């Protein structure tokens, strides 16, 4: 079935450095969502991308959806300790609307 793959699994950065996580699908996605889960917390919705080549920004976070709608990325500029957590992408499963989550990228920010 359709799977959403995320890399890297973990990323250590020094505070102030940039961070990027990548999400890839074997099939074309109608949309892709991004969630953030703080340690000990629950996933919280960040954003949804729908259009081919779409780019959206939320302060220091930049989200991109590939032209072929098979990949996406999340880039954080100048990381802060508050950015610590696991970032998940989620795409619809097969022909349904059910979100299938990637394994997530855990961001560790060293002060």
Partner 1 sequence: DAGVIQSPRHEVTEMGQEVTLRCKPISGHNSLFWYRQTMMRGLELLIYFNNNVPIDDSGMPEDRFSAKMPNASFSTLKIQPSEPRDSAVYFCASSLTGQGGEKLFFGSGTQLSVL
Residues that bind partner 1 (CB under 8 A): 30-31, 33, 35, 41-45, 48, 50, 88, 90, 92-93, 96-104
Q: How far is the CB of 17 from partner 1 (least distance, A)?
A: 26
Identity of the residue, 14 or 42, whose beta carbon is nearer to partner 1 in the bound complex: 42
Quick one: how far is CA 90 from the chain centroid?
A: 8
Q: How far is the CB of 83 from partner 1 (least distance, A)?
A: 19
Q: How far is the CB of 71 from partner 1 (least distance, A)?
A: 19
Q: How far apart are CA 97 and CA 93, in angstroms?
A: 6
Identity of the residue, 70 or 99, whose beta carbon is nearer to partner 1 in the bound complex: 99
CA atoms within 13 A on the CB side of 84: 12
Identity of the residue, 17 or 47, whose beta carbon is nearer to partner 1 in the bound complex: 47
Closest to 61 in 3D by CA, of 44, 74, 80: 74
Q: How far is the CB of 5 from partner 1 (least distance, A)?
A: 11
Residue 105: exposed, middle, or buried by beta-carbon count in 10 A (0-12, 13-18, 19+)? Answer: buried
Note whether 59 and 66 are within 8 A (CB).
no
Identity of the residue, 10 or 80, whose beta carbon is nearer to partner 1 in the bound complex: 10
């Amino acid at each position: 079935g359709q799977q959403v793959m995320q890399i890297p699994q973990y990323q250590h950065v020094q505070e102030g450095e940039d961070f990027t996580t990548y999400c890839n699908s074997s099939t074309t996605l109608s949309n892709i969502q991004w969630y953030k889960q703080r340690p000990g917390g629950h996933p919280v919705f960040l954003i949804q991308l729908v259009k081919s080549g779409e780019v959206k920004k939320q302060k220091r976070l930049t989200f991109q959806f590939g032209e072929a709608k098979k990949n996406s990325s999340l880039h954080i500029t100048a990381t802060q300790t508050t950015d610590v957590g696991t970032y998940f992408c989620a795409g619809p499963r097969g022909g349904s609307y059910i979100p299938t989550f990637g394994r997530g990228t855990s961001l560790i920010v060293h002060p």
